[in-house]
Amino acid sequence: MPEQTARISVAEFQQISRERVPFIGQLGVEVDRLDHGTVHLRIRFQDDFLRPGGTIAGPVMMGLADLAMYGVVLSMIGPVELAVTTNLNINFLRRPAPGDVLAHASILKLGKRLAVGEVTIYRDGDHEPVAHVTSTYSIPPDRSGA
């Protein structure tokens, strides 16, 4: 079966991220890879990501995971800005030391109205995940965009 092309470009996704998801835009998320059904994102380390104990704060990882899930959904349906999170469950597996944070997202099931996916969060340079996320996105019946 031939590989499918992502239905949104990296540039389109970055623009939507900056303009329509302003909190995430402030984090400086970079797209390492965007393919049909797969997205790899990165947040470059910033000192204000740290919480007491010298670990990356949970909200930073949750925000990155949610954006990764948004990206992987759009990679399959195109730039439908009103696709929204309906559920996000995160399991923190270990304390990440300071460093860039990576998110690898994939779709488990894409339906007409819902998309279910998972995101694995890593600290750059580590092979063991620091968090695992499952998430569901609602896809509007009118996929015309905003």
Residue 144 within a domain: no
Instruction: Give Cβ neighbours of residue 33 (< 8 Å, ≥ 6 apart).
Output: 39, 40
| Number of domains making up the chain | 1
pLDDT tens digits along 15-72? 888 888 777 767 889 999 999 999 999 999 999 999 999 999 999 999 999 999 999 9
CATH code of residue 74: 3.10.129.10
- Within a domain: residue 32? yes
Residue 2 lies in a domain: no
- The three-state DSSP-derived secondary structure of 19-80 is HHCHHHHHHCEEEEEEECCEEEEEECCCHHHEECCCEECHHHHHHHHHHHHHHHHHHHHCCC
Helices (H) and strands (E) in the chain, counts: 3, 8
- pLDDT score at 115: 98
145 assigned to some structural domain: no
Q: Quick check: is 36 in a domain? A: yes
Q: What is the mean pLDDT of the chain?
A: 92
Structure tokens at 141: 């019946």
Q: The domain containing residue 19 runs over which residues?
A: 10-138
In a domain, 41, yes or no: yes
Q: Which two tokens stand for residue 119?
A: 């995101």
pLDDT in tens, 68-120: 999 999 999 999 989 999 999 999 999 999 999 999 999 999 999 999 999 99
**Would you say residue 4 lies in a domain?**
no
Q: Does 1 reside within a domain?
A: no
